[in-house]
């Protein structure tokens, strides 16, 4: 009887391993097929989508010298530059990328660059979790390839993936830096590369300013000697100088024309943290399966005064928001963005009252998920608080601003260790696979 039981256990384990391998192959192959068949699963794809601005900006830096091109950016001339980001990624492509001679060649180069980002994430996860089976690591890393936003940006040469790949490298080198005990040259090299790539994150996407900030805090609070902390401060300051120059030119953190169009620094969108909470919790929900002692944390959630106070604060915020601001989706300045919960409400609930009730309870549940995940952890509090504060000044607010940023941070930084097993890995993959399928159906 024992032999029979052992046999069936062995068969189930082998079947599970086979499923994991097949799912990884599915993700990787679908990433290539998506490029071949011109997938647009985020709504911003196509040659007439965001890419037309990308191609315009690259050609500005191809046709003109650097000073002239930067003057066009500073003047806010939409005939030569149209983007909310710094021109660094366009300068790099114009001066370094040899495939800018045609649209097709350029799109292929960005697709391969995006696939390289997946390989970098896979290797980073192997380094961070050396005791975890490589096939599980491969399936975890494959979740990046299921992101509708990462895929669409990779297929259509959009701006987002540059910052994402830089984020992976910065967290990888920071992990390498943290492992080295002695203050030798290798430690300084890893620290320098951490600062370099985390600074590039900001140049590629200003929203990623939280990355160098968190790394700086981590180093200041660490047991590293004062020389390392001074080195960090000096190098970050040097790398920040070109960005500070751009801010001085633009009188804003985004290019002149985009700052005027979006009203950057001139509006305070008090209702946006509500929408942001639903987006953030959408990504945290499957990650709860990786948390240790989750059942006890859920069971004793309200035993913690800080948890109760935080949730009551969120409840009061929502009540005041709906009472005084009279929130409803129909009255929002834009009829797009705001995340998956808002899209669901718009599609399936035509009545404004029902939409409001749905968004209210989705937001309250979302705040609960965020508080449960954060669990008084300093880095998590800083990171998710920043996302909430950022949403106060961001119009429009898109889900792509949080995806795959949260995914990578949960994998590589916010947790020292996560409970990786076959069940929760397959669950996480399936969750994002279903999301990708729905996104494709919605946009196509």
Q: Return the closest-CA partner of residue 387 out of 285, 278, 290.
A: 278
Q: What confidence category does residue 251 fall into, taking pLDDT thresholds of 50, 70 and 90?
A: confident
The verdict on 318 and 233 lying in the same domain is: no
Domain for residue 407, yes or no? no
**275 or 294, higher pLDDT:** 275
Q: Give the pLDDT band (50/70/90) at residue 264.
A: low
Pair 112, 236 in one domain: yes
**In terms of domains, do 212 and 104 share one?**
yes
Q: Are 303 and 219 part of one and the same domain?
A: no
The rounded percent of the chain whose pLDDT value lies above 90 is 57
Confirm whether 427 is domain-assigned: no
Is 70 exceeded by the pLDDT of residue 334?
A: no
Identify whether residues 114 and 200 lie together within a single domain.
Answer: yes
Do 164 and 238 belong to one domain? yes
Range(s) of the domain holding residue 91? 26-252
Average of pLDDT values for 211-215? Answer: 93
| Per-residue pLDDT tens digits for 167-201 | 999 999 999 998 887 778 899 999 999 999 999 99
Residue 192 belongs to a domain: yes
Token pair belonging to 204: 């590629």
Is 281 found in the same domain as 245?
no
**Max Cα separation, the chain?**
81
Q: How many domains does the chain have?
A: 2
The rounded distance, in Å, linking the Cα atoms of 195 and 187 is: 12
| Domain-embedded: residue 60 | yes
One domain, residues 233 and 309: no
In a domain, 327, yes or no: yes
Give the per-residue pLDDT at 8: 43
Q: Report residue 259's pLDDT band, with 50, 70 and 90 as the boundaries.
A: low
Residue 225 sits in the same domain as residue 314: no
Residue 263: pLDDT band with limits 50, 70, 90:
low
**Mean model confidence pLDDT for the chain:** 88
Is the domain of 85 the same as that of 188? yes
Measuring CA to CA, which residue among 66, 64, 106 is closest to residue 87? Answer: 66
**What's the confidence (pLDDT) of residue 222?**
84
> Does residue 256 have a pLDDT over 70?
no
Examine the domain organization and report whether 88 and 185 are in the same domain.
yes
Position 357 in a domain: yes
In this prediction the pTM is 0.91
Residue 235 in any domain: the answer is yes
Q: Residues in the chain, how many?
A: 444
Identify whether residues 216 and 82 lie together within a single domain.
Answer: yes
* CB within 8 Å of 360: residues ≥ 6 apart: 318, 322
Determine the 3-state secondary structure of 173 from DSSP. Answer: helix
Closest by CA position to 28, among listed 400, 443, 410, 433: 433
């Amino acid at each position: 009887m024992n032999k029979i039981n052992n046999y069936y256990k062995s068969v189930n384990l082998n079947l599970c391993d086979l499923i994991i391998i097949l799912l990884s192959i599915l993700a990787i192959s679908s990433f290539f097929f998506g490029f071949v068949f011109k997938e647009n699963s985020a709504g911003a794809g196509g040659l007439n989508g965001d890419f037309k601005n990308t191609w315009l900006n690259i050609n500005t830096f191809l046709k003109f010298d650097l000073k002239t091109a930067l003057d066009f950016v500073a003047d806010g001339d939409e005939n030569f530059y149209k983007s909310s980001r710094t021109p660094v990624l366009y300068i790099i492509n114009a001066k370094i990328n040899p495939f800018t001679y045609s649209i097709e060649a350029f799109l292929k180069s960005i697709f391969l660059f995006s696939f390289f980002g997946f390989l970098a994430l896979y290797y980073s996860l192997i380094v961070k979790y050396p005791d975890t089976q490589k096939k599980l690591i491969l399936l975890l890393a494959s979740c990046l390839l299921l992101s509708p936003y990462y895929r669409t940006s990779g297929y259509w040469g959009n701006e987002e993936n540059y910052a994402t790949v830089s984020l992976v490298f910065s967290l990888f080198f920071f992990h390498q830096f943290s492992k080295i005990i002695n203050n030798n040259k290798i430690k300084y090299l890893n620290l320098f590369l951490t600062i370099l790539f985390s600074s590039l994150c900001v140049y590629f996407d200003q929203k990623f300013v939280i990355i160098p900030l968190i790394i700086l805090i981590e180093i200041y609070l660490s047991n590293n000697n004062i020389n390392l902390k001074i080195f960090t401060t000096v190098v970050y300051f040097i790398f920040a100088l070109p960005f500070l120059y751009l801010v001085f030119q633009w009188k804003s953190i985004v290019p002149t024309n985009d700052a005027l169009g979006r009203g950057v620094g001139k509006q305070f969108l008090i209702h946006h943290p509500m929408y942001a909470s639903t987006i953030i919790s959408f990504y945290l929900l499957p990650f709860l399966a990786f948390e240790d002692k989750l059942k006890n944390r859920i069971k004793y959630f309200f035993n913690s005064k800080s948890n109760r106070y935080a949730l009551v604060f969120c409840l009061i915020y929502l009540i005041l928001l709906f009472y005084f601001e009279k929130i409803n989706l129909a009255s929002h300045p834009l009829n797009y963005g705001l995340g998956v919960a808002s899209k669901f409400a718009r599609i399936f609930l035509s009545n404004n009252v029902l939409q409001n009730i749905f968004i209210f309870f989705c937001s309250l549940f979302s705040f609960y998920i965020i508080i449960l995940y954060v669990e008084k952890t300093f880095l998590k509090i800083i990171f998710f608080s920043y996302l909430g504060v950022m949403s106060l000044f961001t119009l429009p607010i898109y889900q792509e601003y949080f995806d795959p940023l949260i995914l990578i941070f949960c994998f590589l930084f916010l947790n020292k260790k996560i409970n990786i097993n076959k069940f929760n890995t397959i669950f996480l993959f399936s969750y994002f696979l279903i999301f990708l399928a729905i996104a494709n159906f919605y946009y196509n």
